[in-house]
Amino acid sequence: MLNRAVLACVLWASTSMWPLAARECSPEQVQIATTPAPPPNPLREARYQRTLSNLSSIVDAVAIGDSLIQHWPTKTAADSLSSQNLLNLGVGGDETQHVIWRMQADGLKEISPRNIVILAGTNNLSMGASACAISAGLRRILRLAQTTWPAGHLFVVELLPRGRDFSFRDADRQQINAQLRKDAAQVGASTLNIDDAITCGGQQPCPNFEGDRLHLSPAGYDILSRRLHDLALATVKQRT
C-alpha cells in the first residue's frame, strides 16, 4: 500500500500536469466539443423546451449560449440589438456540444431573426478542454447559426476574462478568441471583445462581475449591451 508521502506525490503530479494536458489538441477532445450532446441537467432542459414551445414568428433577434446569455436582462439584451422581440436561448452550464445539440431543434428554423448573438465556451474551459477543441466547437456553432438563420447577422462575443486576477486559463482564452476572430470572418460574423471595458483595470473586486469572478453583474451587462449596440450600429452602416 502506498504510504501517505508517496500518495501525496502521485496526486501532486497528476494535478500539476492538468494545465499541460488541457493544452494538447487530441481528436477525442475535438470530438467531444463538436458532437451534439444532450445537456446533463433535466430541469434546465425542461425550461429550454418550454421556451421552444412558445416560439413566435415575430422573433427578430436571438441570443444563444450558456448562463452568461441566460442571465442577460431581457431589456438590455434587446436594446443592444434594437430588438422588439428577442429570444433568449441561453442555458446555464452548457458547453459547446450542448449548444450545438440545442441548435438542431426543428423549431428554430421557423424563425427569421435579423440578428443573432452568441456567447459560449467558458464552461468548456472549466472542464479542462483544450483551446483547439473549444475553437472547433465554436466554429461549428457559427456554421450552424449561419445555416439555420442565413438572413441574419451573427455577433459573437469573445470569451470573457474570469477568475482570480482575471487569469483563469487566460493564455488559452486569448488563443481561442484569436481563432474565433478568424472563423467569424470566414462566415461574415462580427466579433466583440470587451476585455478592457469590463475588467476594472485588472483590479478586483470588480463591480462588473459577481463574486464568483465569472458571471456578470448588472453593471457588467450594461457594458456588454452598450458595446454590442455600438457594434450593431456600425455594422448596419457598413452594410448599407
CATH number 3.40.50.1110 given to 25-239: yes
User: Which H, E and C letters describe 137-205, residue by residue?
Assistant: HHHHHHHHHHHHCCCCEEEEECCCCCCHHHCCCHHHHHHHHHHHHHHHHHCCCEEECCHHHHCHHHCCC
Mean pLDDT by 10 residues, the chain (240 residues): 35 34 75 93 82 82 96 95 94 96 89 96 96 98 96 97 97 98 97 98 97 97 98 85
pLDDT at 65: 97
**pTM, rounded to two decimals:** 0.87
* Environment class of 182 (CB within 10 Å of its CB; exposed 0-12, middle 13-18, buried 19+): exposed
